[in-house]
Structure 1
Amino acid sequence: MSDETTSTTPSDESVEVQAETPPQVAEEGPAAQEAVAVDETPATEEAPAVAETPADETPAVAETPAADEAPAVAETPAAEETPAPAEETPAPAEEKPAPVAPKPSVPSPAALASKMAARPTPPVTPSVVHEHSDSAKFGRVDDEGHVFVKVGDEEREVGSYPGASPDEALQYFARKYDEIAASADLLVQRVANPDVAAKEVADGLSTLKEHIADAHVVGDLAALDASVTAVEAALAAKRETEQAARAEARAAATVEREAIVAEAEAIAGQHPDQTQWKQSGERMRALLDTWKQHQRSGTKLDKPTENSLWQRFSHARNHFDKGRRTYFAQLDSTRAEAKGTKESLVKEAEALATSTDWGPTARAFKNLMDQWRQAGRASRTEDDALWERFKTAQDTFFNAKDEVSAAEEEEFRANLAVKEELLKEAEQILPITDLEKAKAQLRTVQDRWDAAGKVPRADIDRTEKAIRRIETAVREQDEKKWKSSNPEVAARANSMVTQLRSSIETIEADLAKATASGNEKKVKDLTARLESQQVWLKQAEAAGDEFGS
């Protein structure tokens, strides 16, 4: 209420407040209470009690409802206490309209009471019938209007409701208990709901305890305390459940972060020559984005674990970036060196491109190609340009060489026809029946073979093998004849025959003696030796016959 309203209230009309008073009554006095009755809640079911009580006869209030417990006459009623509309129950001001003028100050309770006594009281028809509360059975009202609540075997005074009947006063404080009990029941439901966080329940429980501590109500306070105890126990269990869920989520998040770090470390640990820098760099950036996403919306890790993982992740990224810079710096140096080497090779190749010294130049180009492969790579653009120049010089030489070779091939085809005929003639030498005649025929073929000249490259191997086969057959026959006519060989063969015959005679004599003496073991050994010597004698005699002995 305004200060103006308070100033119009005489001191002898103030209400004594001993314990709990509504905000308007306790803070602004009867004038404020009067203002509410006139301006906000006309013709309520409780209004006559105030209107008909003179200010100087206002009874002392031992304890009136608190701000959240104020009766309808002191504050705007709750939904179930809403007064009937003004048009159904006209206010006294409507019976005697005041002239249009600046709004006067709100009259005091005494003045209002005098005016109300001078005219008949309009009928009051309550628009809302309060529902009976069973909580009232836990309280009582004494003869002086004081309300008490039963707590076990004791009673506790909760306040009074001036101008109301004992049942109305009891029901008022009982309804206030029902409101708190409803809040407690709601909190019990919320603590059982897994979707409601423990913090929300804890905040609600704290508020509920504050209301219970300050409340002056009538009801089953023991049941209310039991509800609070149940909520506290369920809240402790919920906190443990949430703590376990958070620990599980934190463990899973740690595994996910660990996987990010491990992959980053694997990328950073690759050998520089085997690293796909572009793809690896893109993957590193993606891992960083994933890490940030975990920080923004994922489960929070404990500080030491997150710091440790971040240090590893940061170290891997820094190592990768450093390795990439080092690699490309070295690559630039290597490419510059390769470029210089290949430029020298290109100049040499271009100098050889017009050479007609086919064989040596071809070998020189092969050597240049080997050096090119070992030189490394320059940048793609420069390397492609240098290779184009090198290949052009190489093609120029080998194209010219191929043209000359093609002309030679035509000439060599005529030589091939001559050698084909010579091969047919040489084939007639075999088989050899007259060695000297065969040697003379072969010499004639060989002389004409050399004079025929080169044949095409594709036919060289075939023709050379054919003539070599005939030459080998004649040479082997000549060597065999020489061996058979060699006096030294013949003498060695005759000497071997003589020695073997003498040895056989000795063995036969020993064998006869062993047989006569009955020495079976010696007989067996001598028999084996005799057989071997006889085989060798046959071979020696055959060799002697071959050499003409």
Structure 2
Amino acid sequence: MREGDTWRVVGQFPDGTPAEALAYFERKYADLASEVTLLEVRHRRGGASASDLRAAAAAVMIKVDGAAAVGDLAALTARLQNLVSALSAASESEAAAAKQAVEDAVAERTAIVEQAEALAARDPQTVQWKQASAEMSSLFDQWQQHQQNGPRLPKAAGQQLWKRFRDARSTVDKHRREFYSQLDEAHKVVRQRKNRLVERAEALAPQGEDGIPAYRALLDEWKAAGRAGKKADDALWARFKAAGDALFQARTERAAADAEASKEKIDAKKELLQQAAPIADEPDLSKARALLTSIQRQWDEIGRIHPREAERALDDDLRKIEQGVRAREDADWKRNNPETKARANDMTRQLHDAIAKLEEDLAAAEAGGDARKIAAAKDALDARRAWLRALGG
């Protein structure tokens, strides 16, 4: 490659034509140019560290120097030098910005500490502890995010702020423990109340299913009784729920008895479903509709069955058959609708005209040997012919 008054050996490309060799080394140059352009774009858009970009630019400059590539390497070197000069000035601005970022971070963490200290200074008897705990957790999360994502603070300032935050957090935790220790007495009252509710619920057992309304009323009282501590609540709830389960079990047994009584009706409807199965294959739509109507009438005469889930499943099976007949009727109406036929005939004529035109285009493309036009014409012809087949033309 000629550079100024001299020639430079770029490299060798065995087992290839001169054109392939030249294209290979031109691509090498294009890759280097892309790297330079990318660095310039990153610098213009901002967001990347100037020092990092300077290091990247220096690495690319080493690759450009004497690169085995065909292209204006001198121009790439000049662009890199201009970029390095611009990044040097940007580094000074970055340093100033970093200093300001540290000052801002100190102010932000100080604000977090002051919020934590204000929370610690509240009267423990007036604090909503669930909310206060959430607030302190949120402040701690903010502190961690500043530590992880913010700039590093000077050691003395960082340690002082952390000590203040840690002390405030410890105070809040101490007040919370003291508050909840005072709730123990209140929990005793709730435990006694819930124990009486359990006894009343267990007394409903002889009533069976008829005791469910009274049990639901007791459940409302349970919900309004308050908390008695997790361990006590879990134990009492287990007894209370067991009393209710016994009542609902009685209802389940009654439903099972109803289901047994409906067994003959279920068998009858299953038999009707078997009779309805050939409807889908009946070619005569009128006969299919007549058979379906007869089965629907017998279905209604059988009446309701239990359980409701079984009834819904059987109804769904019959509904699928009904939907199949209705879909066939809709398709038959559309097929015989004069307006639809007219639109289809018009579309068929348009497709025949389009296919004739595309066949002429294909012949011309084949005569000219244009592979791209031949492929495009064939794709278009295949699509139009598929549409025509779908219309039955």
Give the TM interval when normalised to the shorter protein: 0.3 to 0.5
Given the two structures, how large is their TM-score scaled by the length of structure 1? 0.32
Say which structure is richer in helix: 2
Given the two structures, how large is their TM-score scaled by the length of structure 2? 0.42
